[in-house]
Amino acid sequence: MFTRIREDIKSVFDRDPAARNSFEVLTSYPGLHAIWLHRLSHKFWRWGLKWLARMLSTFGRWTTGIEIHPGAQIGRRFFIDHGMGVVIGETAEIGDDVTLYHGVTLGGTSWQAGKRHPTLKNKVVIGAGAKILGPITIGEGAKVGSNSVVVKDVPDGATAVGIPGRVVLNKATEQDGKREHRESIARQYGFDAYAVAPDNPDPVANAIGVMLEHVHKMDLKVEELCGAVQELGGDVCGKSIKALDIEDFKDTGLSPIIQQMNHKDESFDPHI
Ligand SMILES: CC(C)(COP(=O)(O)OP(=O)(O)OC[C@H]1O[C@@H](n2cnc3c(N)ncnc32)[C@H](O)[C@@H]1OP(=O)(O)O)[C@@H](O)C(=O)NCCC(=O)NCCS
């Protein structure tokens, strides 16, 4: 129990720069008091002590302004900042490391029993005053803007804003697209910089991938420029650029890459 409490307090320091010390966090963060009361009321609920569970949840509401139905399933390091006006419905499911601000509702849109409240995957952030309605899923790492009303699924890594909520950014897709583009360019140069896990990219390999992309774009520009000058009767692109001297890259670990780049120089087709 104390491990979980320590973990909860640490999660406040990770997410609220205003938090100063553990005693202050322990005593003046209603979001924490609400989640601790919920853990107990959820236990009572599962043991069939429904009335006791509801009473404890109601007590939590009086003291914190946060209403969490005892049936709601909540993961670890859940943090409700400020708290007042938060409502979490009976069939809501919340993953780990989720953050809610004040005024958030995880509500239902139907009076039918059964799953009728949202599912929030790990690391979701819901802005102040947002309403997430119905048995929808907010994907891992997704964000919802303050005062939005979301009634449809939000993909992993996406940001949804407005009424009705619409996706404005999808960092996961955006980054995947960029990575795929860089990989294809790096493959042309014979350099597989991305033989690393996508969720743990090597920063140096990544930097080299970015530089290769830049070199590739410059190749295209130079080729375009040469074509235009040739058409005007100029003769500026006859000589090929001197290959990189591998000696200059001795002891850097980059020699094999430079060798491959030089080797591919002649036959390299920049149009992908
Ligand atoms: C949604 C949010 C997470 C987006 O953050 P972000 O990833 O940095 O994205 P940006 O700020 O670049 O915004 C992206 C677009 O969404 C718009 N947007 C952001 N928040 C919005 C909101 N709540 N409602 C409507 N549009 C919003 C921006 O204007 C921008 O639009 P544009 O591309 O047309 O310029 C953030 O704005 C937010 O609302 N966070 C909640 C914070 C909160 O509740 N704090 C309470 C502290 S007490």
Instruction: State whether the beta carbon of 161 lies less than 6 angstroms from ligand 1.
Output: yes
Of residues 150, 190, 156, 189, the one with CA closest to residue 175: 156
Instruction: State whether the beta carbon of 16 lies less than 6 angstroms from ligand 1.
Output: no
Q: What is the distance between the terminal CA atoms of the chain, rounded to a whole angstrom? A: 57
| C-alpha of residue 127 to centroid of ligand 1, in Å | 9
Residue 230 pLDDT exceeds 50 = yes
Q: CA-CA distance, 230 to 235, in Å (whole number)? A: 6
Q: CA-CA distance, 259 to 189, in Å (whole number)? A: 10
CATH architecture for the domain at 2-174: 3 Solenoid (2.160)
**What would you measure as the largest C-alpha separation in the chain, in angstroms?**
90
> Among the residues of the chain, which ranges form H helices?
2-15, 22-28, 30-46, 50-64, 171-188, 203-231, 255-265
Residue 178 pLDDT exceeds 90 = no
Mean pLDDT of the chain: 84
- Which residue CA neighbors atom 18 of ligand 1 most closely? 161
pLDDT for 198: 45
Instruction: State whether the beta carbon of 80 lies less than 6 angstroms from ligand 1.
Output: no
pLDDT for 135: 96
Q: CA-CA distance, 165 to 174, in Å (whole number)? A: 19
82-113 pLDDT, tens digit each? 999 999 999 999 999 999 999 999 999 988 88
Residue 151 pLDDT exceeds 50 = yes
pLDDT for 36: 96
32-87 pLDDT, tens digit each? 999 999 999 999 999 999 999 999 999 999 999 999 999 999 999 999 999 999 99
Residues of the chain with CATH 2.160.10.10: 2-174
Instruction: State whether the beta carbon of 134 lies less than 6 angstroms from ligand 1.
Output: no
6-40 pLDDT, tens digit each? 899 999 999 898 989 999 999 999 999 999 999 99
